[in-house]
Amino acid sequence: AQTVTQSQPEMSVQEAETVTLSCTYDTSENNYYLFWYKQPPSRQMILVIRQEAYKQQNATENRFSVNFQKAAKSFSLKISDSQLGDTAMYFCAFMKYGGSQGNLIFGKGTKLSVKP
Amino acid sequence: NAGVMQNPRHLVRRRGQEARLRCSPMKGHSHVYWYRQLPEEGLKFMVYLQKENIIDESGMPKERFSAEFPKEGPSILRIQQVVRGDSAAYFCASSLGTGGSYNEQFFGPGTRLTVL
């Protein structure tokens, strides 16, 4: 069974600084997807970034980028130029590739506070 | 294009009553997923449905819980004889499919169930 671990329950960062959130996972699969979701106080789940395991290049979306280390089964999220609106829970998630398995497996989350 | 709709947003039930949670997927999406989020926890997969079919219910409790996604109308998550431990936020997500870029799951705002 796959598991996702986020070892930082809470983090804080000053506005405009850079912060990195950690995520590790365990799987015997070779092909899979990894995601970071953001959940602000409104509780709406918002996709931040996704990574296909077969791609060596790290995904980037504006101020958000990942460091994907497949051999180490590590998938960290870097937020550059942090903004107050980045304050939220951040969840790392895993999805198997193909077949009838479409469900996401989530970590317990990291609560990020951006301070002015 | 409307996003994933869930209703009600808040639902209060007394122990022993039934709870019905509704989810209308994004237009064109035929894959629906239900997740449960307990306080201070990540989302846990419950069930994955396509129109008129349950594809994967491995995360669903064996008793009292059922889900359907009829040919017409929203997907329904039904909890019979609710207990206090059922109090949680229930999220629905939808996707176009399960492969490639089609597997991105878009989440609804959730239904917060409180059992008194």
Please choose, from the candidates A113, A109, A61, the residue with its C-alpha nearest in 3D space to the C-alpha of residue A83: A113
State pLDDT tens for residues B31-67. Answer: 999 999 998 788 999 999 998 899 999 999 999 999 9
The residue among A101 and A59 whose pLDDT is bigger is: A59
Q: A103 vs B33: CB contact, 8 Å cut-off?
A: yes
Burial class (CB in 10 A: 0-12, 13-18, 19+), B111: buried
Contact B114/B12 with Cβ under 8 angstroms? yes
The half-sphere exposure of A72 on its side-chain side, counting CA atoms within 13 A, is 9
State pLDDT tens for residues B61-91. Answer: 999 999 999 988 999 999 999 999 999 999 9
Tell whether B91 is within 8 A of chain A (Cβ): yes
Residue A106 to chain B, least CA–CA distance (Å): 6
pLDDT at B102: 66
pLDDT at B108: 94
User: What's chain B's average pLDDT?
Assistant: 92
Spatial separation of the C-alpha atoms in residues B91 and B7, rounded to whole Å: 10
pLDDT at A57: 92
pLDDT at B98: 66
Is the pLDDT score of B1 beyond 60? Answer: no
Is the pLDDT score of A97 beyond 80? Answer: no
Tell whether B105 is within 8 A of chain A (Cβ): yes
Is the pLDDT score of A105 beyond 70? Answer: yes
pLDDT at A81: 97
Is the pLDDT score of B106 beyond 80? Answer: yes
Spatial separation of the C-alpha atoms in residues A42 and A90, rounded to whole Å: 13
pLDDT at A101: 62
Q: A103 vs B95: CB contact, 8 Å cut-off?
A: no
State pLDDT tens for residues A12-52. Answer: 999 999 999 999 999 998 889 999 999 998 888 999 999 99
